[in-house]
Structure 1
Amino acid sequence: MPVPQGQPVAKTKQETLDWLQSISGDLATITLQQLDELLPWYRTMPAARRSTIGLVAQAGITSFVAWYKDPKSQPWVAADVFGTAPRELLRSISLQETLQLIRVVVQVVEDRVVQEDESLREAVLLYSREIAFSAADVYARAAEARGLWDARLEALVVDSILSGEHEEELPSRIAALGWRARGAVAAVIGTAAEPIDQDGLRRVARKHSVDALIGVHGNRLIVVLGRIDESKTEGQPSFQKIATALDPFFGAGGVVIGPEVGSVAQAHRSAKAALAGFAAIKSWPKPPRHIAADDLLAERALGGDMLAKSTLLDIIYRPLASNSPELLETLAHYLETGRSLESTARELFVHPNTVRYRLKRISEIIGWDATGPREAFVLQVAMVLGSMSEIEARKRR
């Protein structure tokens, strides 16, 4: 039957396919022109990046032709569009910019193709949906891969801090994680809560102007905190207060706060002290919820922590020994007699008021009050360590 005059002749699918293949080059040229006219960010990109984006756009047009040829045999042919894009392209343009790119490509195809063949409108719409979902999938997988990589890198950084190894590599590794802290650093260790809300922990840390590195070792939660703004030291909350704010993210038991250090390069000192304190706090029947690692110096020293031993010698024994032998002797007798003024006075052949004066003088020099039960225990351990160190020193002479 002859076709009525004035009506367009319907093309077969093969004829339409041949026609699409013949104009694909023109479509790619027009697409590049439209990208340059409509997308300011595309115009400002380096030539190499524009060339790569042009390849992606051209791949999109070629992929549409292949998809139109047989949609069922290649339902995910749209995903091949981004196969030509190098990984760095995903870091140079955002998902929003990628969708703008797709919109321009689809608009060019629709304007050129649908005008010639209205039957292709549905095919263009279906393909544009596939290509948009494909772009979202590419960026989602890239984000997921980056998240997994960041988690592994963060675990590696925390391990390095705990072990004290690779200290010179820490700044570069931490920079890759987006670490913004430039001020003082302290480590906080406690039992991990289940489940661990790391995102919530980071939000609370940011509210207190600190950045956080998080590591989970067995049932232990290790958090390395660093002050973001080192220029504002006054008015900022202490690490003890920040640890209290992070309390809901820790499980049962004590939370130990390591000593404050100057930078993340020295974070292993704070972490090692906190780790030793976390092991020592188990010796307390009813430990406090939050406690500084330096408040556990005696327990840490008894547990074999060399840092705690040297600290006790430096802040207690050596200052007294270098100041006055009488003060050291008075403290030793006072502790040995069970903190009795009268017994100490008889041992030293002095008046009890003299013992009181010397104890006050000791407190002024080292900042520890021997009349309190807890501090007396710490002083007792320091005195034993001091005596042992003197014996070892005499043997080496």
Structure 2
Amino acid sequence: MTDDAAAGTPAPVPGRSATRVPPDERPVSDALLKRITRYSGTLSTEAVRALEVELPFFAELSADQRAEIQLIIQSAVRDFVTWMRNPDAQHTDTIAGFKLLPKGLGQGLTLQQTVQLVRSTLEYFELVMPRISHNERQRGLMIAAVLKFGRELGFTAASVYAAAAENRGAWDTRMEAMIVDAVVRGDRHADLTSGASALNWDPTTSATVIVGTPHPDLGIAAVPAVHNAAVAAGRHALAVVQGARLVVILSGELDSVLSVPAALLESFAPDEPVVVGHTVGSLGDAPGSAAEALSG
């Protein structure tokens, strides 16, 4: 006879668990997760209504943008359920939705606005989700899960916008190189104005072409150095390194090389000549300025 039997404690029945988990200690049930999935549409609609009250800029969005955001929220609810079952699961639907937002990083939402959307939506879910749970422990688990999931979504949004910014940066670089190359070639038929406008170049401003050798310590990094120097001087600049040559198109009038902002000249090799073409009335006439600068 065992000690348990002697003590009057029944022996465990083979094939059954020796102990049962009390109801209050059970994790969030599948039934609750299914209920959340089933009501994802209603939850997203109510969340959008809350956003309209919470965020002033939300009312200024187009109907299409608000519809996209509602779909993203609905996807996030489904992803939340998937994540609750498997914390290692990827937020595939939500990531795909976030990619709809930073269209050109100008036509869509800014990263700051997206962060505000995520924060306000999660604050709403913090209030609503626990109300459909079964007990206090599940409510606590649900609140903790929403907070952790929100952090994951925050990183997801930041990653998507970072990738969009990188893509836009690469596009800007290619467009800038194409515009400067067309000016150097003397291509007056190229659509310089529209491409430059996408790079924030004012089509009504005058332009001057400057040619020289890039500073040996900078190489292709001379291009962003030119941009920074131009902005500091209250101007705009388009620049490209073509082999051993740095070509800059600077907005505004220049009388001579002495009129070039000193910080911009630092992007050129100090022991090599820097030639300034004559100022023209617009970017479309810049090939004439380039021809003069290239002729030395």
Q: Shorter chain as normaliser: what TM range?
A: 0.7 to 0.9
Partner residue of 2:69 out of 26, 37, 53: 53
Q: Which residue of 2 aligns with 1:248?
A: 266
| TM-score (ref. length: structure 1) | 0.61
CA shift in 2, pair 1:142/1:11, >3 Å: closer
> CA separation in 1, counterparts of 2:210 and 2:106?
36
Q: Which residue of 1 aligns with 2:236?
A: 211
Q: Which residue of 2 aligns with 1:25?
A: 41
CA shift at 1:171, angstroms?
Answer: 1.1
CA shift at 1:24, angstroms?
Answer: 2.3
Secondary structure of the corresponding residue to residue 225 of structure 1: strand
> CA separation in 2, counterparts of 1:248 and 1:11?
64
CA shift in 2, pair 1:250/1:51, >3 Å: same
Q: Which residue of 2 aligns with 1:40?
A: 56
Amino acid at match of 1:113: M
CA shift in 2, pair 1:118/1:271, >3 Å: same
> CA separation in 2, counterparts of 1:119 and 1:72?
17
CA shift in 2, pair 1:45/1:110, >3 Å: same
Q: Which residue of 1 aligns with 2:160?
A: 138
Which consecutive unaligned segments of at least 5 residues does structure 1 have? 228-232, 278-397
Partner residue of 1:260 out of 270, 279, 289: 279
Deviating beyond 4 angstroms after TM superposition, the runs of 4 or more aligned structure 1 residues are: 1-4, 75-78, 83-86
Task: Judging by fraction of residues, say which structure has more helix.
Answer: 1
Q: Which residue of 2 aligns with 1:285?
A: none
Larger CA Rg, structure 1 vs 2: 1
Amino acid at match of 2:51: L
Amino acid at match of 2:196: I
Within the alignment, does 1:157 sit opposite 2:179 as a pair?
A: yes
Per-residue Cα deviation, 1:320-339 (whole angstroms, up to 9, x for no partner): xxxxxxxxxxxxxxxxxxxx
Q: Which residue of 2 aligns with 1:184?
A: 206
Count residues with an aligned counterpart: 267
Within the alignment, does 1:105 sit opposite 2:121 as a pair?
A: yes
Tell me how large the CA RMSD over aligned residues is: 2.7
Kept in 1, the 8 Å contact 2:105–2:164? The answer is no
Kept in 2, the 8 Å contact 1:181–1:211? The answer is no
Per-residue Cα deviation, 1:110-131 (whole angstroms, up to 9, x for no partner): 1122343221222212211110
CA shift in 2, pair 1:12/1:138, >3 Å: closer
Kept in 2, the 8 Å contact 1:189–1:274? The answer is yes
CA shift at 1:223, angstroms?
Answer: 0.6
CA shift at 1:74, angstroms?
Answer: 3.1
Equivalences for residues 168-317 of structure 1 within 5 A: 168-180=190-202, 182-193=204-215, 194-195=217-218, 196-227=221-252, 238-243=255-260, 245=262, 246-251=264-269, 252-277=271-296
CA shift at 1:264, angstroms?
Answer: 1.4
> CA separation in 1, counterparts of 2:261 and 2:91?
54
> CA separation in 2, counterparts of 1:45 and 1:62?
24
CA shift in 2, pair 1:139/1:90, >3 Å: farther
Amino acid at match of 1:242: S
| TM-score (ref. length: structure 2) | 0.80
> CA separation in 2, counterparts of 1:224 and 1:261?
11
Structure with more relative contact order (C-alpha pairs < 8 Å, separation 6 or more): 2
Kept in 1, the 8 Å contact 2:130–2:140? The answer is yes
Which consecutive unaligned segments of at least 5 residues does structure 2 have? 1-18, 134-138
Kept in 2, the 8 Å contact 1:31–1:105? The answer is yes
CA shift in 2, pair 1:144/1:41, >3 Å: same
172-181 or 18-27, larger mean C-alpha shift: 18-27
> CA separation in 2, counterparts of 1:25 and 1:218?
57
> CA separation in 2, counterparts of 1:274 and 1:223?
10
Per-residue Cα deviation, 1:245-301 (whole angstroms, up to 9, x for no partner): 122110131111112222211111111121121xxxxxxxxxxxxxxxxxxxxxxxx
- Percent identical among aligned pairs is 32
Kept in 2, the 8 Å contact 1:205–1:212? The answer is yes
145-154 or 122-131, larger mean C-alpha shift: 122-131
Per-residue Cα deviation, 1:67-110 (whole angstroms, up to 9, x for no partner): 21222243766524425658368732111111111112211221
Kept in 2, the 8 Å contact 1:55–1:84? The answer is no
CA shift in 2, pair 1:269/1:129, >3 Å: same
